[in-house]
Amino acid sequence: MRGVLQKLGRPIHLPEVLHFHDLQTVDALEFACSLASAVLSHYNPFMIKYKHALALNPYFGESNTIRWTFPPTGLEYIAASLKDLVGKVTILDLRYEKAYQDPKALSKFIRNEIDLLCVSISWESRFEDVCDFVSQLPPEVFTVVGGYKATEEVEYLFDRCSNIEMIVRGEGEEIIKQIVTGVPYRDIRGLSYRENGGVVHNEIHPLPDITCIQFPDRSLRKHDYYLVKHGVRFSSHTFDTVLTTRGCPFKCKFCTFSLNPLGQKRSYTERAVESVIGELKTVTADVVLFSDDNFFTNPKRSEQLCDLIIENKIKKIFVVQARIDVAKHRRVLDKAEKAGFKVFLIGIESPHDRILKQLDKGITQQQVRDAFAVLTQYDFYLHGYFIYGNICETEEEMLYIPKFAKEVKLDSITFQKLRIERFSPLKEVVEETPGYYYNRIGGSVYSDHYGRKELKQIRNRIRSEFYDIPQVIHIIRKVWRIGLVGGSDLTSTFFKLPLLMYGLARRKRKRRR
Ligand code: B12
Ligand code: SF4
């Protein structure tokens, strides 16, 4: 884009550049969007303010499998937004960069090379470790932080890390462009920054138009992403994510998926299907997670996407997040199966109508049963999410989760304690219910009856009742049968078992300490 603007070589008037008659193609539309957004953000192509930006994912160390498997999508969106506006962008994902896990080594690299440091702080877990790490990076290098967790913890982060200059709140694609193109800080909505010894919080930024957002530029990656636990690689497959929509039209009470952390509800917005296919063609990974909150919100569009995947001969294993409602659309499911959709991650939350109602999930136990009667007719791997420790939920009710999951023939489940986030609509309900409390934002809900210890015992019982030996054998057989892992993966995992056991034991020891 910089090249095009340079070619024009004179002041640009927006209607002049946008006078396209042939905006039918998505490429042209995306081009026009990014051009408009750059021009609107006072972009001067002849003045590059930053020579070399580092986009840093500061998470590393012991973690669960899922955390290693996927790229830092949000940060990659930011890197893509920066790419044409700074001299060079480097992405460092510390999970895969052992040499830079030492803050001294990383600081040396930053001092020598970098004049803009962009850090993504997205996750609740390891937050304090990340704060320690970031605060040791060079204070003289201009440091911008963003991400889900950073947005929730703006004040704390400014206090904790004196080297952080500014924090971008919420979705950051447009905001980062404004920062690097020299828009006065006071005019950048969604920005919090230091001034005269204090912190200024500008008003909220409107959510960016999803049709104008460049997709993550995967050429900036230095390595592939794969399934690894305790240093043991489980599968030869490589992994990636693609976001085809943002937001979700449902309003489940416990969920902040479609809220950005400012509490701004992201209305459900779709990318053009051609743009998604364009992105998929650039993806080299074998397994792609569609990280939309619910891939099937608009079944007509999902069907169209499946058709295009088949038509374009895009051969991947697709993983989707879904609601049970998808089971009503057999034609979509038929096509999804044909297109390579293999894993469905389905939010069920509870087997009890009372709890489902309390959570405003909009489904009933019978509907879940009916949906699984359909879904199990396909060769999909079905994973269910449940929440336990709900308000007024009894031990007996919580322990029905594994039984119910087996009744409906889920292949695997994860179950989490009810959590409260800053803008969760459930926060008020917990606060108003006698005997229920949470200790911190982002933390679990406990009650006088079910404290940490009791819920831990219940969790262990749910786990052992669901993951018994026949279930584990069923999972191994199924992942092999539907092609999620190959014979060689199973054999090599078998030989790596001692390493895995060692890793597990080390983690347990660490936890006990
Ligand atoms: C897809 C997804 C996953 C995927 C993986 C995603 C990935 N790429 O790693 C899977 C299924 C593996 C997953 C797992 C988990 N997830 Co998840 N996940 C999501 C989901 C649905 C979408 C994430 C996404 O792609 N968003 C789109 C991108 C573009 O947004 P973003 O990452 O926020 O980035 C934007 C801004 O934050 C900002 N930004 C980010 N970094 C930076 C940096 C700078 C410098 C700037 C300027 C701006 C900036 O700009 C970005 C672009 O707009 C979100 C909910 C949601 N709708 O966001 C939950 C969510 C992120 N997950 C969440 C959780 C809790 C988890 C798990 C811990 C669950 C569990 N118990 O196992 C695990 C842990 C994974 C990990 N990496 O540690 C929480 C995080 C809450 C928190 N603060 O911890 C969320 C918000 C859902 C929720 N409300 O509960 N998840
Ligand atoms: S739980 Fe799923 S369906 Fe409900 S609001 Fe969240 S993303 Fe949407």
DSSP notation for 268-328: -EE--HHHHHHHHHH---SEEEE-SS-TTSSHHHHHHHHHHHHHTT---EEEEEE-GGGGG
- Residue 422 is classified by DSSP as T
pTM for the structure as a whole: 0.88
Residue 405: its pLDDT value, please?
98
Q: pLDDT: is 236 or 42 the higher one? A: 236
User: 157: CA distance to ligand 1 center in Å?
Assistant: 19
Is the pLDDT at 135 greater than 80? The verdict is: yes
Q: Which of 67, 257, 346, 359 to mutate to test the pocket of ligand 1 (most atoms within 8 A of CB)?
A: 257
Tell me what the mean pLDDT of segment 394-408 comes to.
Answer: 98
% of the chain with per-residue pLDDT over 70: 84
User: Which residues on adjacent β-strands are paired with residue 201?
Assistant: 192
Structure tokens at 81: 């937004």
Tens of pLDDT, residue by residue over 45-55, are 557 899 999 99
- Other C-beta atoms closer than 10 Å to the C-beta of 425 total 17
Residue 402 beta carbon below 6 angstroms from any ligand 2 atom: no
Element (H, E) at 104: helix 103-113
Q: Does residue 293's CB lie within 6 angstroms of at least one atom of ligand 2? A: yes
For 371, residues 6+ apart whose C-beta sits below 8 A from its C-beta are 324, 325, 326, 327, 328
Confidence of residue 513 (pLDDT cuts 50, 70, 90): low
Specify which residues 252 forms β-bridges with: none
Sequence-separated (6 or more) residues with CB below 8 Å from residue 502? 230
Residue 248 DSSP SS3: coil
Name the CA dihedral angle for 144, 145, 151, 155, rounded to a multiple of 10 degrees: -70
Using a 6 Å cutoff on CB, does residue 418 contact ligand 1?
A: no
pLDDT in the model for residue 449: 94
Structure token digits, residue 226? 């794969």
pLDDT greater at residue 26 or residue 13: 26
Return the structure tokens found at 155.
């004040």
Label residue 61 by pLDDT band (50, 70, 90). Answer: confident
User: In what helix (H) or strand (E) does residue 53 lie, and over which residues does it extend?
Assistant: strand 52-57
Distances (CA, A) of 86 to 21, 38, 212: 31, 13, 19
User: Is pLDDT of 246 > 90?
Assistant: yes
pLDDT score recorded for residue 4: 32
CA 237 / ligand 1 centre spacing (Å): 22
Torsion angle (degrees, nearest 10) of CA 371, 376, 382, 386:
40
* pLDDT value for 501: 61
Burial class (CB in 10 A: 0-12, 13-18, 19+), 122: buried
- Specify the residue with its C-alpha closest to ligand 2, atom 6: 255
- Our answer on whether the CB atom of 257 is closer than 6 Å to any ligand 2 atom is yes
Q: pLDDT by residue (tens digit) across 440-495?
A: 888 899 999 999 999 999 999 999 999 999 999 999 999 989 988 876 666 666 66
**Predicted confidence (pLDDT) at residue 11 exceeds the cutoff of 80:** no
**503 pLDDT above the threshold of 80:** no
